[in-house]
Structure 1
Amino acid sequence: MSDALINGVAGASGGIIAQLITYPLQTVNTRQQTERDLSKSKSISRDGTLKQMRQVVKQEGWGRLYGGLAPSLVGTAASQGVYYYFYQIFRDRAELVSLARQRKGIGDGSLGMLQSLVVASLAGSVNVLLTNPIWVIVTRMQTFKKSKEAIQKHDLPTVSNDLQNVTTEPSHYGMLDVIRELYSEAGLVGLWKGVIPTLIMVSNPAIQFMLYETMLKKLKKKRASNMKGAEGLTAVEIFLLGAVAKLGATVATYPLLVVKSRLQAKQGVHIDKRHHYQGTWDAITKMIRYEGLFQFYNGMGTKIVQSVFAAAFLFVIKEELVRMSRFLLTRTNSSRLEPPRP
Structure 2
Amino acid sequence: MPRAFPPLEGSSKNRPLSPSLVESVAGFSAGVVSCLTVHPLDLLKNRLQLNTQTKSRRGDSFRILRHVVRDEGGVKALYRGLWPNMLGNSLGWGLYFLFYGKAKEVLQKRRAQGERLGTGEFFGASIFAGLLTGACTNPIWVVKTRMLERGANHPAAYKTMREGLAHVYSTRGLRGLWAGFVPSTLGVAHGAVQFAIYERLKHARGEQLGSMDKLTNWDFIYMSGGSKLLAGAITYPYQPIRARMQQYNAASQYSGLIDVLRKTWRNEGFLAFYKGVVPNTLRVIPTTIVTFVVYENTKYFLPRIFEGEQMAHDED
Please indicate the TM-score interval, normalised by the length of the shorter structure: 0.7 to 0.9
Q: 2:295 aligns with which of 301, 306, 318?
A: 318
2:148 is the alignment partner of 1:142: yes
Q: 2:67 aligns with which of 49, 55, 61?
A: 55
Q: 2:120 aligns with which of 95, 110, 114?
A: 114
Q: Distance in 1 between matches of 2:151 and 2:120?
A: 43
Report which structure shows greater RCO (CA 8 Å, sep ≥6).
2
Does the CA-based 8 Å contact 2:22-2:302 persist in structure 1?
A: yes
2:165 is the alignment partner of 1:179: yes
Shift of 1:31: 0.6
Q: 1:90 aligns with which of 88, 93, 103?
A: 103
Q: Distance in 2 between matches of 1:314 and 1:257?
A: 20
Does the CA-based 8 Å contact 2:158-2:164 persist in structure 1?
A: no
Q: Distance in 2 between matches of 1:286 and 1:42?
A: 16
Q: TM-score, normalised by structure 2?
A: 0.88
Where does residue 213 of structure 1 map in the other structure?
Answer: 199
2:204 is the alignment partner of 1:204: no
Where does residue 13 of structure 2 map in the other structure?
Answer: none
2:131 is the alignment partner of 1:125: yes
Shift of 1:50: 5.2
The verdict on how the C-alpha distance between 1:50 and 1:17 changes in structure 2, with shifts beyond 3 A counting, is farther
Unaligned stretches of 5+ residues in structure 1 = 101-107, 151-157, 159-168
> Where does 1:34-53 land on structure 2 (aligned, <5 Å)?
34-38=50-54, 41-43=55-57, 46-47=58-59, 49=61, 52-53=64-65
Tell me the amino acid that sits aligned with residue 95 of structure 2: V
Q: Distance in 2 between matches of 1:268 and 1:191?
A: 12
2:245 is the alignment partner of 1:263: yes
Q: TM-score, normalised by structure 1?
A: 0.82
2:226 is the alignment partner of 1:244: yes
The verdict on how the C-alpha distance between 1:83 and 1:172 changes in structure 2, with shifts beyond 3 A counting, is closer
Does the CA-based 8 Å contact 1:33-1:298 persist in structure 2?
A: yes
Shift of 1:126: 0.7
Q: Distance in 1 between matches of 2:203 and 2:162?
A: 45
Unaligned stretches of 5+ residues in structure 2 = 1-16
Q: 1:80 aligns with which of 69, 93, 97?
A: 93
Q: Distance in 1 between matches of 2:312 and 2:105?
A: 28
Tell me the amino acid that sits aligned with residue 178 of structure 1: G
Q: Distance in 2 between matches of 1:133 and 1:250?
A: 23
Q: Distance in 2 between matches of 1:23 and 1:194?
A: 21
Q: Distance in 1 between matches of 2:250 and 2:290?
A: 37
Where does residue 162 of structure 1 map in the other structure?
Answer: none
Shift of 1:195: 0.5
Q: How big is each residue's C-alpha offset from its partner over 1:293-321, in whole Å with a ceiling of 9 and x where there is no partner?
A: 11000110111110111010000011111
Where does residue 194 of structure 1 map in the other structure?
Answer: 180
> Where does 1:13-52 land on structure 2 (aligned, <5 Å)?
13-38=29-54, 41-43=55-57, 46-47=58-59, 49=61, 52=64
Does the CA-based 8 Å contact 1:140-1:265 persist in structure 2?
A: yes
Count residues with an aligned counterpart: 299
Aligned-residue identity in percent: 27
Does the CA-based 8 Å contact 1:64-1:142 persist in structure 2?
A: no
The verdict on how the C-alpha distance between 1:279 and 1:222 changes in structure 2, with shifts beyond 3 A counting, is same
Tell me the amino acid that sits aligned with residue 119 of structure 1: A
Q: Distance in 1 between matches of 2:250 and 2:180?
A: 17
Q: Distance in 2 between matches of 1:34 and 1:64?
A: 18
SS at match of 1:109: coil
Q: How big is each residue's C-alpha offset from its partner over 1:100-154, in whole Å with a ceiling of 9 and x where there is no partner?
A: 7xxxxxxx711111110000110111101111000100000001136xxx4xxxx
Shift of 1:29: 0.3
